[in-house]
Amino acid sequence: MHCVRVWTRSLCRVEYLGPWRRSLSHTAAGKLDLSGVYPPIATPFTAKEDVDYQKLEENLLKYAKIPFKGLVVQGSNGEYPYLTEEERVEVVNAVRRSLPLGKLLMAGSGCESTKATLQLTEKMAAVGVDAVLVVNPCFYKGKMDSRALIHHFTEVADSSPVPVVLYSVPANTGLELPMDAVVELCQHPNILGLKDSGGDITRIGLIVHKTEAQDFQVLAGSAGFLMAAYCVGAVGGVCALANVLGQELCELERLCKSGRWEEARVLQQRLIEPNASVTRKLGVPALKQAMEWFGYHGGACRSPLQPLTEAETLQLRRDFSTNGWL
Amino acid sequence: MHCVRVWTRSLCRVEYLGPWRRSLSHTAAGKLDLSGVYPPIATPFTAKEDVDYQKLEENLLKYAKIPFKGLVVQGSNGEYPYLTEEERVEVVNAVRRSLPLGKLLMAGSGCESTKATLQLTEKMAAVGVDAVLVVNPCFYKGKMDSRALIHHFTEVADSSPVPVVLYSVPANTGLELPMDAVVELCQHPNILGLKDSGGDITRIGLIVHKTEAQDFQVLAGSAGFLMAAYCVGAVGGVCALANVLGQELCELERLCKSGRWEEARVLQQRLIEPNASVTRKLGVPALKQAMEWFGYHGGACRSPLQPLTEAETLQLRRDFSTNGWL
Amino acid sequence: MHCVRVWTRSLCRVEYLGPWRRSLSHTAAGKLDLSGVYPPIATPFTAKEDVDYQKLEENLLKYAKIPFKGLVVQGSNGEYPYLTEEERVEVVNAVRRSLPLGKLLMAGSGCESTKATLQLTEKMAAVGVDAVLVVNPCFYKGKMDSRALIHHFTEVADSSPVPVVLYSVPANTGLELPMDAVVELCQHPNILGLKDSGGDITRIGLIVHKTEAQDFQVLAGSAGFLMAAYCVGAVGGVCALANVLGQELCELERLCKSGRWEEARVLQQRLIEPNASVTRKLGVPALKQAMEWFGYHGGACRSPLQPLTEAETLQLRRDFSTNGWL
Amino acid sequence: MHCVRVWTRSLCRVEYLGPWRRSLSHTAAGKLDLSGVYPPIATPFTAKEDVDYQKLEENLLKYAKIPFKGLVVQGSNGEYPYLTEEERVEVVNAVRRSLPLGKLLMAGSGCESTKATLQLTEKMAAVGVDAVLVVNPCFYKGKMDSRALIHHFTEVADSSPVPVVLYSVPANTGLELPMDAVVELCQHPNILGLKDSGGDITRIGLIVHKTEAQDFQVLAGSAGFLMAAYCVGAVGGVCALANVLGQELCELERLCKSGRWEEARVLQQRLIEPNASVTRKLGVPALKQAMEWFGYHGGACRSPLQPLTEAETLQLRRDFSTNGWL
């Protein structure tokens, strides 16, 4: 057990015991500082579709040289819905062991039921994650209204030994975490922020606005709108493309944070098409293919995700090359 | 192990060994006959959200008196995404033990990954289901095209010891199983049919038309369009409302099959609002509430599904009472 | 002026003066009987995109030999949004002059504003239509709620010299006429029924159910679900495909009305793909191309509608030929 | 006739004759400079729903004191779909007469058919607009692909005496002008830019990127994402909220253009809720109500747009007051 939880009234404070954790920065309000860029790392598989820990480690060694704030394990790009619960925890554990000092580790622990989410969150905390990223349940879409989601996330945050980051990814879940639920949940002392992959910049600006009293931290969930999100008040991004062009995304962050907007814009614009290609357009198989081109281990996806067709591979390459990356 | 699989070339034949199975009827082409009405049974929970096997059994005793073709366990209304894999198998096992002679048992075994679906299908077969109902994976919506889905279902059907029924439920998955995938998959000897909960009657008619050479059996996935589905060639229905008004839905089936369309229409029309209320409008919590009113055990749902509000309960009651059911 | 309106209290009665009108049948409640099949006729254009009245008349002569209940002018397939107000009235006038005794003439008079709809309705009545088909306004989608739509249709029905048929066509308007608005409006004495092109058979069944006390007549808005619509209580259909396979759709009507459902199903199924091709899949240009193949004048559409590509033409032909129509 | 068109090869140059036009600025490439903020002005009506030219003029006098780049007449907020063609031209003419020297006048001239759009564009040019804003046709959604839309806009731009600005407003049309159509059309010498009201900031950034060689000018179509749009390269905005808080939006523009992003962010955030209230949430009736509160003439809308309910008025007021505007 890496941490103890101390509840003082409605306030949840998490005291980290491990020495490597002390190096993580905190916000003015004393919360874990999430600001920065994270790759939501891909999960390499062997030809037999088993997790390839060797290749995973080799990727991590390369990522260690990039000024990421930390890593996200089992965001959508990690194919977490295709991993067993045991695999989910074991992969996070493996990443934990390789993680350099001072890097933040966030892991996805969202499941459909509240009960399963509580249990997986406990397990993730036990292997040493700094925060959990909890996607909203979505199967019973029609009933996942604010009432249900506030109840769900409150239960999870109440019992989680580590801070919780909300996660809204409508392209996969078919459901956007409602604004009023976010505004309500931002008041929970154990909920730190939101990863928003929907990309509605008006909504992101409004969330920043309506949660600013709570020191709530918003992360852009995709590289396509990272600059615009910084512009309206986000503090960082969890971007699939960071698996491929991590250095460049950190550079974009640096330009935005230092107010060099003109240079930022030029860089941002060159990243939109490659990003769209490895996410919305061609998905995880494209992300993994592009990783191969840029010196990482991507490899195949678990079925039912299929390898790219030849035409798709050409399109992917074109989206990188016409923007000067290949 | 209740069955052996004999592969002769591309043909899959399943020989059932248990004596209770011999009583199930078969189509002219020798396939398991799916025709008829099924309740996709709800899963009762205790106050602590554990599966309440006692109450489940009591419900089954009552369902045994209704002329259902069989039972579907772990369709969407069974809250299967909220059950662990062990619970999923154990609930099916419990139902198997209570099932009267001659009733068909179909169980949901769909998971996001092909691998997990294969494994759960094996386990469901091992506890004696007559067929598995396999929902399409849906998390990576953008990549779940016909190519991926045909690959997925073919692998599942190739290895499944029992016949497979496809399951399309766009209200939950955000994805309709594409027509061309259905038309391709209907040729697989171990794929029997489709449960279509989307309710697009033009599509249902066309699926019947384009698969008729393969003796493919289409089941309506909701009571709201059961009569219309019969009209265009479906052979039965898996209807949430059958948990509540099972006798009435069997009566509707009888009227449709005997060509008494005028009487069928009158009955069908009175069922639309109650059905909408326990599905699209108010969901599983409403289904379980209505079950209580009609003498079954419904009880609470697992979180994050919430109990009905007072206003919702009134609306539910009104949808039954204005149609003469309460 | 072909008609006079007599208001007795809240009841609107329309007395037709022209002798040809006396032959139109009425329902038990004394309303104009809409039951039957109608082609929503296409508008032929010359090479310069002017209305080709000569070709229109030749089409009408051929339609006169088919047992249609009547004709719909300026439904969606008539390219009415591409006609000026003058053209809209003049085309209807031309059809009126060619219409055989006993055929019902329904014309689209819906505009975005209530005022414009009132005015065009007056003009349509003045050239002798038997009823107007009024599509819901849709530009300000977010504000076209039941309150606005009930207000709009009530004003139109209050002032219209001829009966009004509501028209819901979500594929074009992006908006389905809400159920509660239909249920409210069905009580207006000058609103006869609804043409529903959305194809949600559960909704159609429920509308029939909830309006039956008002002698409200529902027409299927597409051939793809004509049989299912009859099955749940519709009285007829306004079907683009009737421009091409009019005799066959009248035969389908006859089979449905005489309870020969098995034969009806076989015919219905062969019509789904051709119908989808000339509507949802390839649109008005395909409808006009198919008309040419079947001996009618179709010709080109007004811009921005484009002629079919070669690949589209092949697909269209295949959708007819694989179903035995070409 | 206020202008002559000179075609030199593929280049379209428009020479303005009126002295008031000479004061309009041009881009480096010699095109009309669109940069800046515009209110898409509302159309005041009398109690009888006639255009109230008196009140319109009084609004214009007040707008003249705000550093707008110009005015947009008959954008979506002008209720143009509810005006006759004559009214559309006459309203523009009236605005033309009141417009101060140096202000740019842009008028909506989009219709469903290419022919009608050509004609209205000619009329708008004849009364002296500096550019036309042309929304994409949308009724036959399924057929309005890039091929059709490129054809449509090319014909319009070829024949228009004044430059053309594309207009994409999916909330009303149900259709987003496709990226590839925009990239193709940006090469037309008489197409200046795009008003994008969809608000997808990734798309806006990519459009700026892929059209930069053509000096193509992108305008944000709503105040909610104005700052983010500037950030990714837009040159201005056409914002409903500018009818109410015009000075503030010009201030936001000034902050963005002078790189004072921190101040800009604070102001932007306070504008999101009022903007959402007068557009997406409550629409034109709310815009007109808010105009009244801020000293302009708003008044009623044409039917079928309905006045706000009391609850809606309260919500509107709250969206302004909680952000410190009332």
In SS3 terms, D73-101 reads as ECCHHHCHHHCCHHHHHHHHHHHHHHCCC
Q: Residue A21: which pLDDT band, with cuts at 50, 70 and 90? A: low
Nearest to B39 by CA among B277, B224, B222, B171: B222
DSSP, res D212? G
Two tokens, residue B318: 């009104």
- Locus of tokens 């004495």: C189
CB B139 within 8 A of CB B173: no
Contact state of D201 with A205 under an 8 Å Cβ cutoff: no
Contact state of B272 with C209 under an 8 Å Cβ cutoff: yes
Per-residue pLDDT reduced to its tens digit, A238-259: 999 999 999 999 999 999 999 9
Q: Residue C21: which pLDDT band, with cuts at 50, 70 and 90? A: low
- Taking 50 as the pLDDT cut, the residues of chain D under it are 1-20, 22
Q: Residue C16: which pLDDT band, with cuts at 50, 70 and 90? A: very low
Per-residue pLDDT reduced to its tens digit, A48-76: 999 999 999 999 999 999 999 999 999 99
List Cβ<8 Å contacts ≥24 apart for C250-254.
C250/C37, C250/C66, C250/C67, C250/C68, C252/C223, C252/C226, C252/C227, C253/C36, C253/C37, C253/C226
* Closest Cα in chain C to D169: C139
B205: chain C residues, CB-CB within 8 Å: 224-225, 227-228, 265, 268-269, 272
Please enumerate, by residue number, every residue of C annotated as part of a binding site for pyruvate: 238
Please enumerate, by residue number, every residue of C annotated as part of a binding site: 238
Q: Using the predicted structure, report yes or no on whether residue B14 has a pLDDT greater than 70.
A: no
Task: Using a threshold of 3 CB pairs under 8 A, tell whether chains D and B touch.
Answer: no
* Closest Cα in chain A to D229: A228
- Min Cα distance C112 → chain D (Å) is 6
D195 is catalytic: yes
Which pLDDT value is given to residue A7? 37
- Min Cα distance B233 → chain C (Å) is 7
D166: chain C residues, CB-CB within 8 Å: none
* Closest Cα in chain A to D260: A259
D232: chain A residues, CB-CB within 8 Å: 227-228, 265, 268-269
Sheet holding C40-41, edge to edge: C36-38, C236-238, C217-220, C191-196, C164-168, C131-135, C104-108, C70-73, C40-41
Per-residue pLDDT reduced to its tens digit, B32-66: 999 999 999 999 999 999 999 999 999 999 999 99
Neighbours of B103 (CB within 10 A): 22
- The H-or-E segment that residue C12 falls in is strand C11-16
**Dist. CA C90–CA A95, nearest whole Å:** 75
Nearest to B12 by CA among B148, B131, B123: B131
Chains touching chain D through at least 3 C-beta pairs below 8 angstroms are: A, C
**Dist. CA D227–CA D238, nearest whole Å:** 13
- Distance, C-alpha D40 to centroid of its chain: 5
Which pLDDT value is given to residue D21? 54
Residue C235's SS3 state is coil
Angle at D109 (CA atoms; ends D107, D114), nearest 5 degrees: 160
DSSP, res B128? T
Which pLDDT value is given to residue B8? 36
Return the HEC string of A281-302.
HCHHHHHHHHHHHCCCCCCCCC
- Min Cα distance D24 → chain C (Å) is 33
| DSSP of B175-191 | -PPPHHHHHHHTTSTTE
Contact state of B232 with C227 under an 8 Å Cβ cutoff: yes
Cβ neighbourhood burial of A302 (10 Å; 0-12, 13-18, 19+): buried
Q: Which of C80, C167, C230, C296 is catalytic?
A: C167
Contact state of D202 with A232 under an 8 Å Cβ cutoff: no
Percentage of chain C modeled with pLDDT above 90: 92
Best residue of A208, A232, A277 to probe chain D, by most D CBs closer than 10 Å: A232
More confident residue, C7 or B213: B213
- Distance, C-alpha A112 to centroid of its chain: 18
Which pLDDT value is given to residue B263? 98
Return the HEC string of C150-173.
HHHHHHHHHHCCCCEEEEECHHHH
CB A310 within 8 A of CB A318: no
Contact state of C232 with B200 under an 8 Å Cβ cutoff: no
Alpha helix stretches (DSSP H) within B135-196: 146-159, 170-173, 179-185
**Dist. CA B93–CA B116, nearest whole Å:** 19
Q: Using the predicted structure, report yes or no on whether residue C30 has a pLDDT greater than 60.
A: yes
Catalytic residues of B: 167, 195
Q: Residue C54 contacts by C-beta under 8 Å, 6 or more apart in sequence?
A: none
A283: chain B residues, CB-CB within 8 Å: 140, 142-143
Rounded to 5 degrees, what are φ and ψ at A12? -105, 120
Rg of chain B on CA atoms, in Å: 18
- Min Cα distance A55 → chain D (Å) is 33
DSSP, res B212? G
Q: Which residues of chain C have a Cβ shorter than 8 Å from any chain B Cβ?
A: 199-202, 205-206, 208-209, 222, 224-225, 227-228, 231-233, 259, 261, 265, 268-270, 272-273, 276
Cis bond leading into C161, ω under 30°? no
B268: chain C residues, CB-CB within 8 Å: 205, 232
Rg of chain C on CA atoms, in Å: 18
- Min Cα distance D302 → chain A (Å) is 29
CB D243 within 8 A of CB D291: yes
Contact state of C265 with B206 under an 8 Å Cβ cutoff: no
**Dist. CA C59–CA B14, nearest whole Å:** 58
D265: chain A residues, CB-CB within 8 Å: 205, 231-233
Return the HEC string of B220-263.
ECCHHHHHHHHHHCCCEEECHHHHCCHHHHHHHHHHHHCCCHHH
Which pLDDT value is given to residue D5? 43
Q: Could you tell me the sign of the dihedral formed by the alpha carbons of C1, C3, C4, C7, in that order?
A: negative
**Dist. CA C239–CA C136, nearest whole Å:** 19
DSSP, res C69? S
Q: Which of C31, C69, C103, C195 is catalytic?
A: C195
Per-residue pLDDT reduced to its tens digit, B220-257: 999 999 999 999 999 999 999 999 999 999 999 999 99
Per-residue pLDDT reduced to its tens digit, A91-105: 999 999 999 989 999
Nearest to B175 by CA among B217, B145, B207, B132: B145
Q: Which of A38, A80, A167, A230 is catalytic?
A: A167
Contact state of A232 with D228 under an 8 Å Cβ cutoff: yes
Q: Using the predicted structure, report yes or no on whether residue C1 has a pLDDT greater than 50.
A: no
A80 is catalytic: no
Contact state of B233 with C205 under an 8 Å Cβ cutoff: no
Contact state of B233 with C269 under an 8 Å Cβ cutoff: yes
Percentage of chain C modeled with pLDDT above 70: 93
Two tokens, residue D64: 């003249």
- The strand pairing partners of B218, in sequence order, are B194
- N-terminal to C-terminal alpha carbon distance within chain C: 45
Which pLDDT value is given to residue D1? 34
Contact state of D285 with C112 under an 8 Å Cβ cutoff: no
**Dist. CA B89–CA B63, nearest whole Å:** 20
Q: Within 13 A of B326's CA, how many CA atoms are on the CB side?
A: 19
Two tokens, residue D41: 């002005």
Q: What is the mean pLDDT of residues A137-160?
A: 98
Per-residue pLDDT reduced to its tens digit, D2-34: 443 433 333 333 444 443 454 899 998 899 999
C261: chain B residues, CB-CB within 8 Å: 231, 259, 261
Count of positions (residues) in chain A: 326
Nearest to B204 by CA among B192, B216, B213, B214: B216
- Locus of tokens 């995973």: A56
β-pairing, B11-16 vs B3-8, is antiparallel
Which pLDDT value is given to residue D312? 98
Residue C137's SS3 state is coil
Contact state of C114 with D141 under an 8 Å Cβ cutoff: no
The answer on whether D244 is annotated among ligand-binding residues is no
